[in-house]
Structure 1
Amino acid sequence: MFITIPLEPKQISYLKGNGMLLSGEEVIDSYQAGKGNMNVTLKIKTNKRIFVLKQSRPYVVKFPEVPAPLNRIEIELKFYNEINKDNLLACFSPAVLGFDKNAWLLAIEHLDKGGDYLWLYENKNSLNKKVIDLLLTYLKKLHQLPVTDFPINQEMRKLNHQHIFVLPFLPDNGFNLDQIQEGLQDLSTMVKDKPELIEKINLLGERYLKPGDVLIHGDFYPGSWFETEKGLKIIDTEFAFLGEPEFDLAVMLAHLKLSSTAVSELLRIIESYPLKNEILAQYTGVEILRRLFGLAQLPLSLSLEEKKKLATFAINLIMNEKF
């Protein structure tokens, strides 16, 4: 059963049958919750409450031509279940209200009066140091969790691998970047025409696919950070797996740089959470480049010249393997 907007009577009956709608609860309204890329996400307003339904499809919802594993919604559930064993991490997560594997459907708490941090890319905003330190607190605690049996999530990692380490760097990848910004296609040749750079990116991609021993979020960027009246929440955990902590921190650093955070602040973050600098630098560089030249574009308010400077910065991180 695929949920739709608005919910159909048979879908409402289904939700009553699987217990996601409580006794005496009637649906008043249903509408899209946020601008999710991977899954269908709906806010359900009833006569008693508001909650969120997330459902995976056999494709990426924003890009239906891109296949994706259905079990990613179960990965999100297992991630929440795992970190909810820790009192501090549990404070950063929405409450899980129900799960239906037959429909790949997850019900979670509605986060009141909040929103994600995608506004960071607009007008070159900087993130408050207090929020940065909260994000670091979350990552440090997450990466210290004693987890050994989390699913390998290999199909989602393969999907991510293609869009991070492979497709953005192919000369003929089918992405018409000039539709994003005139001249961006030509600019992308500054990475596509560098064999030594591509080789390093390929090696890093192989490293990404290898099993690790640390539970990581897997997509730790501003779209997964959610501010609410109850404080900062971390959402959209379907890319989670046992990997390297450097990957999570690198994604965070890359997006802070993309939103024009000063290098001095990036260095402060690195000093406060010391990891393998060479791996951290390379992952950061690749994440910047794939967001400039890949399919997963961001609402960046940057000129071509500014993007060129960012790409040069990223290339130096990958080639020199240090900040």
Structure 2
Amino acid sequence: MSSFEATNTKSSMIDLNEHSSLHLVQSLPIWQENEKLESIASAGESNMNLVLRVKTNLRSVILKQSKPFVRKFPQIPAPIDRIEIELCYYQLIEDDEILSSFSPRPLNYNAEHHILLIEDLGNGTDFSAMYGQDYTWDSSDFNALSQYLNALHELQVSNFPDNLEMKKLNHEHLFQFPFEEENGFDLDSIQPGLQGLSLAYKRDLDLKSALEALGKRYLSQGTILLHGDFHPSSWLKTENGVKFIDTEFAFMGDCEFDLGVLFAHFDLAQQDTSCQSNFLKLYRHSYSEKLVDAYRGMEIMRRLIGIAQLPLSLTLEEKKSLLEKARLLILSQ
């Protein structure tokens, strides 16, 4: 476990942003003795939390602060203590040689201001390029995915928080919102014709019944620790290899959930089918193929007709083909 002690104060929460002054951030009770801040900048796009790179006279660190809403979609409320889940995850894996090598180290945590300081992994890039045309995998990067999930899904865990509030938030956007006919989200603003295309699935009672059953399973407590959001934006390529970040959705559940999400993004990126088969050759944990397919289909559909859109360049016909494939995967459970 980490040697640092979580700090707390009796003051009200300091609400930070990318333009917060050095003086304000310096005033937080999270710094080492004689540590002086030199610069603050955004550490890149983040869907859930504020993420800043803070350079001091002693080091460079990443400061994450959770808010009572989703950062990318401020109209969506979110559990503010999700940052503590991320801390718990990093603390839990610190003694595992493989998982710790793929993850940033937690450095300090302040509960009052919902701030987590973690190791700065450098100017890495996520794997969103996978969605572009003609993307090819570096074999070591691809192998990192299986090494990480193998170690994570084999980890013996007995005391991880249930993270139920984050699961409920995710459940709404995985299994419900994308399939509501009148949800207020105009898909034609994403791509003309997508709204009309989505209606067949929003009115499909068999599909919605299967999703309801799958969603209940997602909300139940499982026995395997999952990353919970295992897709290209959570994978970081750095000078020291691939790292895996943003674990606030971590929970105890089905290993098939992480696998299904991963394989859905292979589909959305139009990766060759060999990507999935090659991954499974390296994966050691037992799994249900039908359950993997069901979660995979759900993730494809929610990314195409839900609010959490991806930088895809698919035609409407290609999306239609994927949506129909996803429907069949879900109904196969």
Q: C-alpha separation between the residues in 2 aligned to 1:271 and 1:203?
A: 29
- Aligned counterpart, 1:127: 137
Q: What's the secondary structure of 1:123's corresponding residue?
A: coil
What letter corresponds to residue 308 of structure 1 in structure 2? K
TM-score (norm 2): 0.92
Offset of residue 30 of structure 1: 1.0
- Aligned counterpart, 2:259: 249
- Which stretch of the first structure deviates more once superposed, 46-55 or 5-14? 5-14
Q: Is the 8 A contact 1:124 1:260 kept in 2?
A: no
Cα distance change, pair 271–87 in 1 and its aligned pair in 2 (3 A)? closer
Q: Is the 8 A contact 2:22 2:37 kept in 1?
A: no
Q: Select 2:304's aligned residue among 275, 292, 309.
A: 292
Q: Select 1:4's aligned residue among 8, 11, 17.
A: 17
Offset of residue 48 of structure 1: 3.0
TM-score (norm 1): 0.94
Superimposed CA distance per residue, residues 188-246 of structure 1 (whole angstroms, 9 cap, x where no aligned partner)? 12311211111111110010000001111100000100111111111000000111111
Over aligned residues, Cα RMSD in angstroms? Answer: 1.4
Offset of residue 12 of structure 1: 2.8
- Aligned counterpart, 2:295: 283
Matched, 1:67 2:67: no
- Aligned counterpart, 2:99: 89
What letter corresponds to residue 47 of structure 1 in structure 2? N
Structure 1 regions of 5+ residues with no counterpart? none
- Aligned counterpart, 2:313: 301
What letter corresponds to residue 201 of structure 1 in structure 2? L
Q: Map residues 147-158 of structure 1 onto 2, 5 A cutoff.
A: 147-158=157-168
Superimposed CA distance per residue, residues 41-77 of structure 1 (whole angstroms, 9 cap, x where no aligned partner)? 1111223322110000000011111000011000000
Q: C-alpha separation between the residues in 2 aligned to 1:11 and 1:170?
A: 43
Matched, 1:214 2:227: no
Q: C-alpha separation between the residues in 1 aligned to 2:55 and 2:103?
A: 21
Q: What's the secondary structure of 2:27's corresponding residue?
A: helix
Q: Is the 8 A contact 2:261 2:299 kept in 1?
A: yes
Q: Is the 8 A contact 2:22 2:39 kept in 1?
A: no
Offset of residue 129 of structure 1: 3.9
Matched, 1:58 2:68: yes
Matched, 1:14 2:1: no
Residue correspondences, number: 318
Matched, 1:142 2:164: no
What letter corresponds to residue 12 of structure 1 in structure 2? V
What letter corresponds to residue 88 of structure 1 in structure 2? I
Q: C-alpha separation between the residues in 2 aligned to 1:110 and 1:272?
A: 30
Offset of residue 133 of structure 1: 2.1
- Which stretch of the first structure deviates more once superposed, 132-141 or 20-29? 20-29
What letter corresponds to residue 104 of structure 2 in structure 1? P
Q: Is the 8 A contact 1:127 1:261 kept in 2?
A: no
What letter corresponds to residue 308 of structure 2 in structure 1? A
Q: Is the 8 A contact 1:126 1:259 kept in 2?
A: no
Q: C-alpha separation between the residues in 1 aligned to 2:137 and 2:295?
A: 21
What letter corresponds to residue 152 of structure 2 in structure 1? L
Q: Is the 8 A contact 1:216 1:240 kept in 2?
A: yes
Report percent identity of matched pairs: 44
Q: C-alpha separation between the residues in 2 aligned to 1:55 and 1:298?
A: 24
Q: Is the 8 A contact 1:6 1:29 kept in 2?
A: no
Q: What's the secondary structure of 1:232's corresponding residue?
A: strand
Q: Is the 8 A contact 2:227 2:247 kept in 1?
A: yes
- Which stretch of the first structure deviates more once superposed, 307-316 or 86-95? 307-316
